[in-house]
Amino acid sequence: MQPIRRLAMISLHTSPLDQPGIGDAGGMNVYVIELAKRLARQGIEVDIFTRATSSGLPPVVSACDGVNVRHVHAGPFEGLTKDELPGQLCVFAREVLRAEAAQPLGHYDAVHSHYWLSGQVGALARDRWGVPLVHSMHTMAKVKNAALALGDTPEPTARIIGEEQVVESADMLIANTDLEAKQLINLYDADPGRVEVVHPGVDLSVFRPVDRDTVRTELGLPRDAHVLLFAGRIQPLKAPDVLLRAVAALLAGDPGLRSRIVVPVVGGPSGSGLDRPESLASLARELGIDDVVRFVPPVSQADLSRWYAAATLVAVPSYNESFGLVAAEAQAAGTPVVAAAVGGLTTVVRDGHSGLLVEGHDADEWARALGRVLGDPALLARLRDGARAQARQFSWEATAAQTLDVYARARSAMRESVA
């Protein structure tokens, strides 16, 4: 087989150029652009197709050498929610096919789609172009609906049906963890032979330990404070309220801690959190801890690394995570993680070594876990060392190498099915 020369990536509902932590932009955005960059370094030309959300966006943006982001006009530029995007699939798919038709025959060698909406378009491109489709789910409706946060909205039946169709159509499916692979097989009846586990990575050149005192001074944080950081989109699924309730319980049990605790919340409202963008700030006031909570707008990857490095602990209380890039990035910065024992977090965080895993979302249980680390300097020091060691297991270079193997398997699988 000839090597992969050109790859079409499809990320319909969110652009890899968007700032993570705003709207629908999050870990998947980081995944798409970081993987594309590493593939480009292997000599592969990557075109990323995404929906244009502004009339001012140029048709094509070069993200780096070998990676172009193509803005597809499909539906109104603004005001279209993710739940309304299925109505634009036909238009988006037509424009993707039109872009390929303007190129010489056989322009793309494979399609890699991200999230189920993109998978629907990818399946059509696969059949039209005669190239294999590799699909990454990132999140799955059946999994999310089984672990809904209080006040969150269940994923619709249409999405479940759409995901089942994509699973059936894809030549290969990439799962972030062993658990996600099992969920694809058990919940979506995926063929085990078409599911491959490839861990996402961390940019270890960006997320790395730095002097904690120095970065705290730069960020306006007390050097001697217990800094308990939440980073991510503010929505019920990510459960930042669990951290706030745990801090309130911690302070109720030990009021003397109040003068030494700071709780930065770095991120913006997203998903169902957009309906009540001030709800977390209101909760902090209701709990009587608004004096220790700091709300910080989404920041660049470089600045996020500084926040991680400044923290004593990073809390990831999500109800579900397919992987948990925040946990991986925090550990790379040398900061232990206290995380919910769900989804990919059980792979990313090594319990008792790089952080602690907490069963459930009870505020008192979380308060005990936080207090256990804050009250034991020797344990905190061991977890810091373990966090750095754990993060070294994940790199985007390894992700790209394994993904290339999956592309090769997809091409073989497609040839066999045709034969």
Q: Residue 268: inside a domain, yes or no?
A: yes
- Note whether 174 and 252 are same-domain residues: no
- Note whether 242 and 374 are same-domain residues: yes
- Note whether 182 and 281 are same-domain residues: no
Residue 159 marked as a ligand binder: yes
Residue 37 has pLDDT above 90, yes or no: yes
- The Cα 358–Cα 371 span in angstroms is 13
**Residue with tokens 């480009």, as numbered in its chain:** 40
pLDDT at 273: 45
Residue 115 marked as a ligand binder: yes
Q: Which two tokens stand for residue 222?
A: 């007390």
- Note whether 233 and 381 are same-domain residues: yes
- Note whether 39 and 75 are same-domain residues: yes
- Note whether 343 and 372 are same-domain residues: yes
340 forms beta bridges with 358
- The Cα 138–Cα 185 span in angstroms is 15
Q: Which two tokens stand for residue 88?
A: 């634009």
Contact 121, 93 (CB under 8 A): yes
pLDDT tens track for 77-120 = 877 777 888 889 999 999 999 999 999 999 999 999 999 999 99
pLDDT tens track for 174-212 = 999 999 999 999 999 999 999 999 999 999 999 999 999
- Note whether 96 and 123 are same-domain residues: yes
Residue 316, C-beta contacts closer than 8 angstroms, at least 6 positions apart: 230, 232, 324, 326, 327, 330, 337, 338, 339, 340, 345, 349
Q: Residue 303: inside a domain, yes or no?
A: yes
Residue 28 marked as a ligand binder: yes
- The Cα 25–Cα 20 span in angstroms is 5
- Note whether 84 and 197 are same-domain residues: yes
Mean pLDDT of the 221-230 span: 97
Residue 114 marked as a ligand binder: no
Residue 176 marked as a ligand binder: no
How many Cα atoms are found within 13 Å in the side-chain-facing hemisphere of 114?
26
Q: Residue 206: inside a domain, yes or no?
A: no
Residue 40 has pLDDT above 70, yes or no: yes
Q: Residue 293: inside a domain, yes or no?
A: yes
Number of domains in the chain: 2
- Label residue 147 by pLDDT band (50, 70, 90): confident
- Label residue 295 by pLDDT band (50, 70, 90): very high
pLDDT at 80: 77
Q: Residue 251: inside a domain, yes or no?
A: yes
- Note whether 130 and 223 are same-domain residues: no
- Phi and psi at 316, nearest 5°, equal -130, 80
- Label residue 277 by pLDDT band (50, 70, 90): low
Residue 19 marked as a ligand binder: yes
pLDDT tens track for 374-399 = 999 999 999 999 999 999 999 999 99
Residue 144 marked as a ligand binder: no
Question: Using CA atoms in the order 305, 311, 314, 315, what is the torsion angle rounded to 10 degrees?
Answer: -130
CB atoms within 10 A of CB 222: 13
Q: Residue 342: inside a domain, yes or no?
A: yes
Q: Residue 207: inside a domain, yes or no?
A: no
71 forms beta bridges with 50
Residue 67, domain CATH:
3.40.50.2000
- Note whether 195 and 252 are same-domain residues: no
- Note whether 114 and 11 are same-domain residues: yes
pLDDT at 117: 96
Residue 164 has pLDDT above 90, yes or no: yes
Name which of 66, 62, 53, 57 is nearest 12 in CA terms: 53
Residue 343 marked as a ligand binder: no
Give the pTM: 0.91
Residue 172 marked as a ligand binder: no
Expressed as residue numbers, the domain containing 230 is: 212-392
Residue 163 marked as a ligand binder: no
Residue 51 marked as a ligand binder: no
Mean pLDDT of the 111-139 span: 97
Q: Residue 1: inside a domain, yes or no?
A: no
Mean pLDDT of the 19-33 span: 81
- Note whether 251 and 239 are same-domain residues: yes
Residues comprising the chain, all counted: 419
Residue 81 marked as a ligand binder: no
Residue 98 marked as a ligand binder: no
